[in-house]
Structure formats: C-alpha cells, structure tokens
Amino acid sequence: MLCGPAGMMDALSPMWTEAGIAHRLKTERFAAAPRVEVPAGAAPSKVKLALVRSGRTVTTERSETLLEQLERAGERPANGCRMGICNTCLCRKRTGVVENIVTGELSSEPDEDIRLCVSRARTDIELTL
C-alpha cells in the first residue's frame, strides 16, 4: 500500500513495475481541489466578523479565508487539514454571505455550518465563536 505526498508516490511506484509486481501495488492519493480565485475587486475590501461568544468584532481588509483572518486577529479557532477535508474548523454562521473558495459557491443561508478554512466573507459575517 503506497500513500503519501505526490512526489514520493511518483518516485516510488515505478519500483513495483521494475520488479514485475505492479499488480500488487495499491495506491491512495489525496489532494485538495484547486482554489477558485475571485477576480480583483469582486470581494469586498473590508468586512466585519462579529464573534458572538467572545463579543469581539474583527474588521478585516483582506480577502483571505475566515480561518486566516481570525488567526490574524489573534483568535485560535480549531482547525486541522486547512483544506476543507476534516471538518475540524466547522463553525456556525448566523448571518452573512460566504464564498466557498474551492467550489466558488456563494452561501447566504442563516444559521448554517461552514468550514472556516475554505470560506471567504463576501459580506459582514456573524459567527458563533
């Protein structure tokens, strides 16, 4: 069974072919979906992130993910993979519009769970942090 970084897998898998046992090699690859880039000017330059539990309001000027913005503001939200796979960063969004940077989908539903590591604010956001 071979699983790991793409470069390592690409370097090692020919060894099974060279040994004549390629049929015995099982591989598993993981990769994050490519990020969808928002054209300049499409994202707001400033958004407010209201954190319900802590009572803080964070104003951000960058179009980074919510996880990156919160960390920059000194918050420490739970996280793991930072690429939308593990759901460790799941957080309830009470209001606001977020963009999923993997799919490009916009979501404006109130009281929905979002992944901070793949969500970017498109409007002011209220989070239950």
Q: Is 74 exposed, middle or buried (0-12, 13-18, 19+ CB in 10 A)?
A: exposed
CA 26 to mean position of chain CA atoms: 28
The nearest distance, CB 15 to ligand FES, in angstroms, is 32
The nearest distance, CB 94 to ligand FES, in angstroms, is 19
The nearest distance, CB 101 to ligand FES, in angstroms, is 11
Which residue type, as a one-letter code, is found at position 68?
Answer: E
How far apart CA 80 and CA 35 sit, in angstroms, is 18
Residues of the chain by 3-state class (helix, strand, coil), percent to 5: 20, 25, 55
Handedness of CA 58, 62, 68, 71 (dihedral sign): negative
**Per-residue contact track with ligand FES, 81 to 110, x per CB under 6 A?**
xx-xxxxxx---------------------
Among 4, 14, 80, 110, binds ligand FES (CB under 6 A): 80
The nearest distance, CB 35 to ligand FES, in angstroms, is 14
By CB under 6 A, how many residues form the interface with ligand FES? 12
Segment interacting with ligand FES (CB under 6 A) among 17-25, 39-47, 78-86, 102-110: 78-86
Q: Which residue has tokens 């000027």?
A: 61
Among 70, 98, 117, 121, binds ligand FES (CB under 6 A): 117
Which residues of the chain form contacts with ligand FES (CB under 6 A)? Answer: 79-82, 84-89, 115, 117
